[in-house]
C-alpha cells in the first residue's frame, strides 16, 4: 500500500501558521501594531480554512484608528522578506489570497459583505461615507464578497506578541514570543509609510 506524505493543498498545520507569524513578525515593512493586527486576524481563520475579512474604521482621517488602518493596509501591500507573503502562501500550498483595500466592509448576511469605498464607479464620482478605513481579506479570491466579517478588537490585538521562534524548538532556542520590550530595534522602529 502506497502512502502519500506530500502535504495536500490548503492543509495548514500549527507549524505552518507559526512560519507565517515569524514571517510577519520579522517584516521590515510593517509597524509593530500592524504586525499584531495581521497576526491576530490570521488566528481568526481556523488554520486559514475560513474566508474572512476585517475592517479597521474611523469617522476621521486624523484619528489613531485611521492611521492604524492605513498601517495594516500598507503593510499587507508591501510585506516581503525576501519574498512577498503571496509567494510564501504559494510555497506552502495555500490557495488563499491575502489582500487589503481602502474602504469599510458592511455585513449583508453571515457570510456576505459589501465594501463601501466612497467611490461610485458607475458615475465616476466620490460619494459620502460614514466611516473611513481599510479592509483586509484572507479569501479564495481577491476582494471576495462571500466571507465572514471579523470584528476588529483593538484590546485583543494590542496584547498579541510577535513570534520569535517555532513552538517545537523553544527548548533549544529560548522564547517562542517577544515581549514588547524585547522586540529588536530594527523591527520596532519601522515607520508607517504614507
Per-residue HEC secondary structure of 58-72 comes to ECCCCCHHHHHHHHH
3-class DSSP state of 13: coil
Q: How confident is the model at residue 9 (pLDDT cuts 50, 70, 90)?
A: low
Q: Where are the domains of the chain?
A: 14-179
Mean pLDDT, residues 112-128 taken together: 84
More confident residue, 186 or 155: 155
Q: How confident is the model at residue 13 (pLDDT cuts 50, 70, 90)?
A: confident
Above 70 in pLDDT, residue 10? Answer: no
Residue 12 contacts by C-beta under 8 Å, 6 or more apart in sequence? 47, 48, 49, 92, 94
What's the pLDDT at 34?
94
DSSP notation for 99-133: EEEESEEEEEETTEEEEE-SEETTTTEE---S-EE
More confident residue, 71 or 165: 71
The helix (run of H) or strand (run of E) holding residue 56 is: strand 52-58
Cα(69)–Cα(71) distance, integer angstroms: 5
19-23, 50-54, 99-103, 186-190: least confident range: 186-190
What's the pLDDT at 156?
97
Whole-prediction pTM = 0.85
For all residues of the chain together, what is the average pLDDT? 85
Above 70 in pLDDT, residue 1? Answer: no
What's the pLDDT at 71?
92
Percentage above 90 pLDDT, the chain: 41
Above 50 in pLDDT, residue 79? Answer: yes
More confident residue, 172 or 94: 94
Above 50 in pLDDT, residue 143? Answer: yes
Amino acid at each position: 500500500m502506497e502512502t502519500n506524505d506530500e502535504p495536500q493543498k490548503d492543509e495548514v498545520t500549527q507549524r505552518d501558521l507559526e512560519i507565517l507569524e515569524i514571517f510577519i513578525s520579522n517584516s521590515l515593512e510593517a509597524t509593530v501594531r500592524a504586525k499584531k493586527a495581521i497576526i491576530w486576524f490570521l488566528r481568526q481563520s481556523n488554520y486559514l480554512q475560513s474566508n474572512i475579512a476585517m475592517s479597521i474604521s474611523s469617522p476621521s482621517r486624523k484619528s489613531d484608528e485611521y492611521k492604524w488602518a492605513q498601517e495594516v493596509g500598507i503593510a499587507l501591500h508591501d510585506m516581503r522578506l525576501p519574498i512577498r507573503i503571496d509567494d510564501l502562501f504559494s510555497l506552502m500550498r495555500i490557495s488563499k489570497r491575502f489582500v487589503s483595500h481602502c474602504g469599510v466592509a458592511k455585513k449583508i448576511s453571515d457570510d456576505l459583505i459589501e465594501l463601501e469605498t466612497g467611490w461610485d464607479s458607475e458615475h465616476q464620482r466620490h460619494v459620502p461615507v460614514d466611516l473611513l478605513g481599510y479592509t483586509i481579506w484572507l479569501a479564495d479570491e481577491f476582494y471576495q464578497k462571500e466571507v465572514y466579517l471579523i470584528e476588529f478588537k483593538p484590546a485583543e490585538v494590542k496584547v498579541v506578541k510577535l513570534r520569535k521562534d517555532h513552538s517545537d524548538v523553544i527548548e533549544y532556542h529560548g522564547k517562542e514570543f517577544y515581549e514588547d520590550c524585547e522586540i529588536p530595534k530594527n523591527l520596532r522602529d519601522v515607520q508607517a509609510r504614507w
